[in-house]
Amino acid sequence: MTINVNDTIVTIKELVNINSPSGFADPAIEYCQKFAEALNYETSLTHKGGLLINVPGKNDDKQRVITAHVDTLGAIVKDIKEDGRLKLDLIGGFSWNAIEGEYCTITTQSGLEISGTICLHETSVHVYKNNTEIPRDAEHMEVRIDEKVFSADDTRNLGIEIGDSVSFEPRFEHTASGFVKSRHLDDKASVAMIIQFLKYLKEENVELPHTTQFYISNNEEIGYGANSNISDKVVELIAFDMGALGDGQASDEYTVSICVKDGSGPYHVGLRNHFVDLCKENDIKYKLDIYPYYASDASAALRAGADIRHGLFGPGIESSHALERTHEDSILESENLLRAYCLSEINS
């Protein structure tokens, strides 16, 4: 069965439009669980809210975990200002300038969703001279709520309170030239590919050589998404996550990116070499790369003491943790490597 990238992109669109900042990712986890259960996969939830999808294989003694995360960057209401606007605290590692001017959604404790815009307090150039020199930080950035509010009490009467989640408008687009533009491609693009792979296994009645658990994690952006609930039988854990692009990087938007080393240290060299061999054998276009300011659920599992071989590969994502972009080509090559790896034998 050939890979239909358009099906994957449809799933990406559905996922990025589900608000799920770290700490508030239950709706996206529920989406994935319902999809897996509709295909009659066995699923379970960890106590911290991650999703495990179990796919039995011929060999149950040596198992794999493939993890991708459905949680995203976001924010949380830190304070309600005297004029009714909101001060924010950021969730995940990104800069304020990446969200200036972005539309957002405040989700209250009761589940009510209220729209707003993330603004510099001193936005108007007709009022604030030299506002380009004002720092974009927690003291100067705020949420302008799309309701008639004039005081903190007005805002609280809407149901908004400290601790409510703030999600960013994804602005998804699929261009005629094959680009996919959206916030939260990190890492919902990879989750969408896993969903399509699970569908392929059922439709083609394919049995994996090794029992594999697909771990959809919900706290990766804050450092501890899939570092627990790993069976002693697991030999290899793969973070299916984005490749970071920029000056000095080898990754691009048209190949699958294989991580050699990130901020946590080198990834398992034997497993890395296995990825490369699979790419060569299956004519999969790839790039090897180092991400200097990066960590993954695979490295978090090692820090937690898991005795595993760890690896990382995924699509190349331009402008990570901002207005992200990738291409159909990178999605295709990443899906090809996911399929080739899962269908290969574990090298003991």
SS3 165: strand
Instruction: Identify residue 84 by its one-letter amino acid code.
Output: G
CB 246 within 8 A of CB 253: no
Cα–Cα separations (whole angstroms), residue 10 to 16, 57, 76: 10, 28, 29
CB 194 within 8 A of CB 338: yes
Cα–Cα separations (whole angstroms), residue 79 to 97, 147, 157, 222, 229: 20, 17, 15, 21, 35
Q: Write phi, then psi, for 52 (nearest 5 degrees).
A: -110, 125
Four-residue CA torsion sign, 286, 288, 292, 298: positive
Say how far apart CA 111 and CA 106 lie, in whole Å. Answer: 9
Say how far apart CA 193 and CA 184 lie, in whole Å. Answer: 14
Any catalytic annotation for residue 220?
yes
The encoded tokens of residue 237 equal 């854990």
Catalytic residue among 30, 161, 207, 220: 220
Q: Measured in Å, how far apart are the chain's first and last C-alpha atoms?
A: 29
CB count in 10 Å sphere of residue 58 = 10
Tokens 């296995």 sit on residue: 274
CB 217 within 8 A of CB 67: yes
Say how far apart CA 261 and CA 311 lie, in whole Å. Answer: 10
Identify the bridge partners of residue 181 per DSSP, sorted by sequence position: 173, 325
Say how far apart CA 187 and CA 20 lie, in whole Å. Answer: 11
Instruction: Give catalytic residues, as residue numbers.
Output: 220
